Amino acid sequence: MGERQRDVFIRVNGEEVRERIEARQTLVDFLRDHLGLTGTHIGCEQGVCGACTVLVDGEVVRGCLVLAVQCDGAAVQTIEGISDSGLITDLQEAFHKRNALQCGFCTPGMLIGAQDLLSRGSVPSREAIR
Ligand code: FES
């Protein structure tokens, strides 16, 4: 194995993933290109827009600023996993009801961010976001 490639073991949305990847590959590219999880979007690639937001070991991260190899041994949750869990169904409905989507490109990241705020008690209650 060359210096440019690394073996990683990452739990993605509860499923174990073992892959040999380019050491310089970003997490968002890994999720999209290797795993086909295209709900995580790529926008600015500078950590500003939030379209690439995912959870790594429960912490919000910008997938464009993190290398996939940095997530070796970690648990990653994408919008697909969070949505399938039903955890944010009420937020998705609220976004839809309030037409909070605009073009929708960054919506997955906004939903993950909103869920994170709620889980941390950073807003008064779940009803405050509805
Ligand atoms: Fe914009 Fe990552 S693509 S923050």
The CATH number of residue 39's host domain is: 3.10.20.30
Query: CA separation (Å) from 108 to 32, 37, 69, 83, 100?
Result: 14, 12, 23, 9, 12
Q: Is 73 left (phi over 0), alpha (psi -120 to 50) or beta?
A: left
Q: Which domain holds residue 84?
A: 5-129
Pocket test for ligand 1, best of 48, 66, 67, 79 (most atoms within 8 A of CB): 48
pLDDT at 1 exceeding the cut of 60: no
Number of independent structural domains in the chain: 1
Substitution candidate for ligand 1 out of 38, 52, 66 with most atoms within 8 A of CB: 52
Q: Model confidence at 64, in pLDDT bands (50, 70, 90)?
A: very high
| pLDDT classification of 71: cutoffs 50, 70, 90 | very high
Q: Whose CA is nearest to atom 4 of ligand 1?
A: 47
**What local confidence, expressed as pLDDT, does residue 119 receive?**
86
This prediction has a pTM of 0.91
Task: Provide residues with CB under 6 Å of ligand 1.
Answer: 42-45, 47-52, 62, 64
